[in-house]
C-alpha cells in the first residue's frame, strides 16, 4: 500500500496549504474566525499571524482494517516530504474503559467478553480530546491516554501532542459513528477517512493479533473470539459510518517478499 500512503500524505500537504491560505489572506489581516465551520474552536493570534493552523483528521474503520498502520505510515511518509506539516497519529485506544470499570458493571462478564464494542469506551472522553486538540494549537501541549497491551489497560498521559503539531491523524473504530457521543466527532474534524477491508482479511488479521498478544492460547480460540466480538464490531462500524466520510481507503494485504 505504499502508493496509498504516498497519495494520502500528498493529500494532507495540499489540504494544509489550502487551509493556511484561507487563514492568511493576502491583505495580511489576522483572522479571528473559527478554524472551520464545523466547530467553535479558533486560532490564537500569533499562530494565525504566521498562517499556521492545526488540521484534524478522523480515520475510522473496522477492527483489522489497518488503521494504525495507515496512520503511522502516512506520518512517516510526510516526514520525508520537504516542508510538510508536522504530523502525529493519535490512537483512541486509550479511551478503553479500565478493566476495573468493566468488572464493576452489572453485566461484567459480557463487558469483558465484548471489550472493544462501542459501549466499552469512554466516548465522552474521546470527544473532549478532539475538542482540546482543535483548540490548543500554539497554546498548550495535550496529554493523551494510550493503551498498554501488557497490562491490558489504558495509561493516562501516555502520549503528549505538542502545541506546534500541525496535523493530527486520529484513528479509532468509531470516530465516524452516527450514534451516541461518538456522533459528535465527525463535525469536529476537518477530514473524515474511512477504511474498507475484506471481512475475511480483517478476521485473519485480528485473530493473528489476539494470538500474538497472548489474549488467546490457540488460533482456534483466537478465531472464536474474533467471530464473537470483533466481527460484530466491524459490522457496526460499516453500518454506522456509512456516508460519513470524505475519503474511502481500501486496505489490502501486500504480498510478502520472503
Minimum mean pLDDT range among 91-95, 148-152, 155-159, 232-236: 148-152
pLDDT tens sequence across 171-203: 999 999 999 999 999 999 999 999 999 999 999
pLDDT of 247 > 50? The answer is yes
C-alpha cell at 60: 475510522
Average pLDDT over residues 29-54: 45
Domain membership flag for residue 232: no
The conformation of residue 98, written as its DSSP 8-state character, comes to P
Domain holding 164: CATH number? 3.40.50.300
pLDDT tens sequence across 213-242: 888 899 999 999 999 999 999 999 999 999
Residue 22: what pLDDT?
79
Residue 96: what pLDDT?
98
Residue with the three cell numbers 516530504: 81
Q: Render 218-258 in DSSP notation, one character per residue.
A: SHHHHHHHIIIIIHHHHHHHHHHSTT--SEEEEE-PPPP--
Q: What is the pTM of this model?
A: 0.86
Domain membership flag for residue 239: no
Domain membership flag for residue 210: no
The parent domain of residue 106 ranges over: 2-198+245-251
Are 103 and 112 in contact, with CB atoms under 8 Å apart? yes
Domain membership flag for residue 213: no
Question: Average per-residue pLDDT in the chain?
Answer: 88
Domain membership flag for residue 168: yes
Please name every residue paired with 251 in a beta bridge, in sequence order, or none if there are none: 197
Domain membership flag for residue 206: no
pLDDT tens sequence across 42-60: 443 334 444 568 999 999 9
Residue 27: what pLDDT?
44
Per the structure, how many domains does the chain have? 1
- Beta-carbon count within 10 A of 206 CB: 25
Domain membership flag for residue 52: yes
Rounded-to-integer distance, Cα 68 and Cα 126, Å: 17
Amino acid at each position: 500500500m505504499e502508493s496509498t500512503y504516498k497519495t494520502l500524505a500528498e493529500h494532507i500537504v495540499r489540504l494544509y496549504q489550502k487551509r493556511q491560505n484561507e487563514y492568511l489572506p493576502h491583505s495580511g489581516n489576522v483572522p479571528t474566525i473559527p478554524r472551520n465551520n464545523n466547530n467553535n474552536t479558533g486560532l490564537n493570534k500569533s499562530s494565525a499571524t504566521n498562517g499556521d493552523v492545526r488540521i484534524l483528521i478522523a480515520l475510522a474503520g473496522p477492527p483489522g482494517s489497518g488503521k494504525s498502520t495507515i496512520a503511522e505510515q502516512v506520518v512517516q511518509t510526510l516526514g520525508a516530504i520537504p516542508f510538510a506539516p508536522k504530523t502525529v497519529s493519535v490512537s483512541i485506544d486509550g479511551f478503553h474503559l479500565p478493566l476495573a470499570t468493566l468488572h464493576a458493571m452489572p453485566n461484567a462478564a459480557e463487558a469483558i467478553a465484548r471489550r472493544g464494542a462501542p459501549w466499552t469506551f469512554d466516548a465522552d472522553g474521546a470527544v473532549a480530546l478532539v475538542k482540546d486538540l482543535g483548540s490548543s494549537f500554539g497554546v498548550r501541549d495535550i496529554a493523551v491516554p494510550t493503551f498498554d497491551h501488557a497490562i491490558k489497560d489504558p495509561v493516562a498521559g501516555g502520549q503528549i501532542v505538542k502545541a506546534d503539531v500541525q496535523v493530527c491523524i486520529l484513528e479509532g473504530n468509531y470516530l465516524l459513528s452516527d450514534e451516541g457521543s461518538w456522533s459528535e466527532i465527525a463535525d469536529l474534524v476537518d477530514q473524515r477517512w474511512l477504511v474498507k477491508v475484506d471481512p475475511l482479511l480483517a478476521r485473519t488479521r485480528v485473530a493473528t493479533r489476539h494470538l500474538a498478544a497472548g489474549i488467546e492460547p490457540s488460533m482456534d480460540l483466537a478465531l472464536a473470539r474474533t467471530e464473537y466480538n470483533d466481527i460484530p464490531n466491524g459490522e457496526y462500524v460499516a453500518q454506522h459510518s456509512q456516508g460519513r466520510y470524505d475519503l474511502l481507503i481500501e486496505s489490502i494485504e501486500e504480498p510478502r517478499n520472503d
